[in-house]
Structure 1
């Protein structure tokens, strides 16, 4: 009862703070931020979606209560990604199972709403083996290696139904499409060539409406930040921004010549933060500050996983020997602490999930997920026992 009472007070305060003066009858019928079937809270209701590659068991862990929700199985699960609320699990045959973690946030710019709801198994998404999944409040994009992107109705997905809106079809390549600025920014390739060369802006129905003139040869890796959408290119990064319906692109070149092994091909970061981390081959890491338009090359030794906390925060690196390490903005190591057995750190599923106060590192060979206070010398705050093996994890509700 105390929790419900506190939530009611928070909802009332939120309404007063961001609703402004509204007709009393409208505010009473549909309070600002109201979501049917969900409970609004004063802080992030973070959860983890955890998949066991051996048994296929999928679990959702409430990071506030530590309650573990069993959500069925995905045979031979070999990949897991998230859009902040939903988990998309790729099975051995390439089909994609969608799990609603029941935890999400809605960012209105000057304020944020946090929600929690029941965990549920939504169903199977169209297509097989998506290379990327992204969402905004209106649309979800699932991109595939043949150059197509499937568009899902996000409102229907929120209600527990997978509904296809349409497709974006391009020349065959391992493409990506990101909802942004009321549109969709998608990679494009030249006829007969399997590598993306740049990006194009599409409307919500998938129709191309504008080209970004800046090139992005061999596009690999992308991230959504408060400063725009970032795409990894062979010669640096391309940042796409939107203002008053107009889209522009700007390149952030590498500080020196890099080869195919050294370039960034996947970015890891705290959601919306504008500092990104990427592997730079096997023994180093790139830190990309989008705001300052600069790259930092950090020599770390053998890398298992990386992520960036954000502006002013540390760069986190899980080494192949199982140590978790933090580096400051100059690339200087601040702290290192033993965390995983080397065999676990060397497993492909090891990852670092980051939110505004904590990082979560999974041991793919056990049921353990470690909660790390990265602002307190990488202190191990909790060890979460999730059941089975924590082969793959993503955090939602951030």
Structure 2
């Protein structure tokens, strides 16, 4: 199937402020607000997933996976990387990061989830080159290439205000109404403004790589991973050590996973890939050989890898057995155009820069290609939002 193209309507929408689930009273009326009400947004019954795509030349597109419509946004010349917090995409370009509001997000309350869609728009710019981003309802922490994190007021960001507070020295992750900050000294719990704090007792030498799961926040360490969890305001750290000695070239230095899942994936150097089961506190190494991309579907699902020859593979993360393989990309992977694998609850999305398209793959059906989206740009950078 081909995605249809339409021009973007860049409208600055009203503030998309999330009200408490218990309901509040809107000023213009006396009735309590409906459960999950968000001003200016449409609540839907299912996830409204969208793909934010960028071309090295600066072209930016947002592909709506429900309607298959493509929205064209203003160019961002010199895009070097892209990251997301689930709603906003952060396009790093030179010494600044351009923010795109994808207009698609979810709010997870544990026992139920709300899904929303709103206008797609450019949302401003922040100083520094973003490499990751994490958010809660109050604060967004954008991790920058220089090792600091820019803190943004989340409700203000939803209104298009990208003015950041004083940067925090370290990788900051909002969690449990606090900030977890990773530095060379380990992990500390701080206030949401980045001030104060106390160290997590369990050490994490040379922290690198983070992932937010329902079990807590995972930090990659030189000797394994550190899981930081919170219970009634008390934060604890639990080490998940590697199953044996691991050289620096094979440590898990960056995690990918399906949002909401507690199964993480990471490359293990040229040797293969790691699967980290956070629930079971255990690592598995799958001997795949070198890969250019990896992601984990979740508990009971396959581990997905993409090799430089353009072939997509599925492995059993527990046994290491290869379950399926499918030639996918139109050409071998070239330097500077590394594809990624984005995963949601039923599909995986892989960008094909050389073919100027994105593939939607059913990972539960022998990696069947369910849809192909042809584009008018080279999609070298891709994130999925709305999950």
TM-score by length of 2: 0.90
Q: Secondary structure of the equivalent of 2:74?
A: strand
Give how far 1:30 is off.
1.6
Encode CA deviations 1:80-133: one digit per residue, 9 max, x unaligned: 000000000011x221000000000000111100000010001111x2113321
CA offsets 1:209-233 (integer angstroms, 9 cap, x no match): 2210111111111100111100111
| Cα deviation 1:164-218 (Å, max 9, x = unaligned) | 344324xxxxx31100000000012xxxxxxx24110111121122210111111
Q: Which runs of 5+ in 1 are unaligned?
A: 1-17, 170-174, 189-195
> What is the distance in 1 between the residues matched to 2:228 and 2:297?
22
Q: Deviations over 1:269-306 (max 9, x none)?
A: 00121000000002300000001011001011220100
Q: 1:321 to 1:343 in 2, by over 3 A?
A: closer
Structure 2 match to 1:104: 105
SS at match of 1:73: coil
1:322/1:345 contact within 8 Å kept: no
Give a deviation string over 1:121-175, Cα, whole Å, max 9, x none. Answer: 01111x2113321111110012334443221011011122213344324xxxxx3
Q: Is the 8 A contact 1:47 1:62 kept in 2?
A: yes
The answer to whether 1:282 aligns with 2:282 is: no
Counterpart of 1:185 in structure 2 is 180
Distance 1:335 1:27, change over 3 A: farther
Alignment of 1:25-40 (within 5 A): 28-40=31-43
Whether the 8 Å contact between 1:200 and 1:208 is mirrored in structure 2 is no
With 361-370 and 141-150 compared, the bigger mean Cα shift is at 141-150
Q: What is the aligned partner in structure 2 of residue 65 from structure 1? A: 67
Matches within 5 A, 1:249-264: 249-264=237-252
- The answer for the alignment partner of 2:160 in structure 1 is 160
Q: Is the 8 A contact 2:315 2:321 kept in 1?
A: yes
Structure 2 unaligned residues grouped into runs of 5+: 1-20
Q: 1:7 corresponds to which residue?
A: none
**Structure-to-structure mapping, 1:345-364, within 5 angstroms:** 348-364=337-353
Q: Does 1:78 align with 2:80?
A: yes
Which whole-Å CA distance do the structure 2 matches of 1:379 and 1:28 have between them?
49
2:54 to 51, 56, 79: 51
> Which residue does 2:8 correspond to in 1?
none
1:76, distance to aligned residue in structure 2 (A): 0.9
Q: Cα deviation per residue 1:62-86 (whole Å; 9 max; x = unaligned)?
A: 0011100001111110100000000
User: Higher RCO, 1 or 2 (CA under 8 Å, sep at least 6)?
Assistant: 2
Contact 1:316–1:326 (Cα < 8 Å) also in 2:
yes
Q: Distance in 1 between matches of 2:30 and 2:303?
A: 44
**Secondary structure class of the residue paired with 2:155:** helix
Decide whether the 8 Å contact of 1:269 with 1:354 is kept in 2: yes
Assess if the C-alpha contact under 8 Å between 1:197 and 1:217 holds in 2: yes
C-alpha displacement of 1:239: 0.5
Please tell me whether the aligned partners of residues 252 and 293 of structure 1 are also in contact (alpha carbons under 8 angstroms): yes
Deviation (angstroms), 1:346: 6.1
Does structure 2 conserve the Cα–Cα contact (< 8 Å) formed by 1:345 and 1:363?
Answer: no
Partner of 1:216: 204
Going from structure 1 to structure 2, the CA distance change for 1:201 and 1:219 (only over 3 Å counts) comes to same
Q: Match of 2:141?
A: 141
Asked if the contact 1:268–1:307 (Cα under 8 Å) also holds between the matched residues in 2, the reply is yes
Aligned to 2:3: none
Q: Show the 5 A alignment for 1:1-398.
A: 28-53=31-56, 55-91=57-93, 93-125=94-126, 127-169=127-169, 175-188=170-183, 196-328=184-316, 329-344=318-333, 348-398=337-387
Q: 1:347: Cα distance to partner?
A: 5.1
Change (3 A) 1:342 1:262: farther
What's the secondary structure of 1:155's corresponding residue? helix
Within 1, Cα distance between the matches of 2:30 and 2:330? 55
Three-state SS of the structure 2 residue aligned to 1:208 is coil
| In 1, Cα distance between equivalents of 2:29 and 2:187 | 42
Distance 2:330 2:306 in 1: 11
SS of aligned partner of 1:344: coil
Count of residues in Structure 1 that have an aligned counterpart in Structure 2: 365
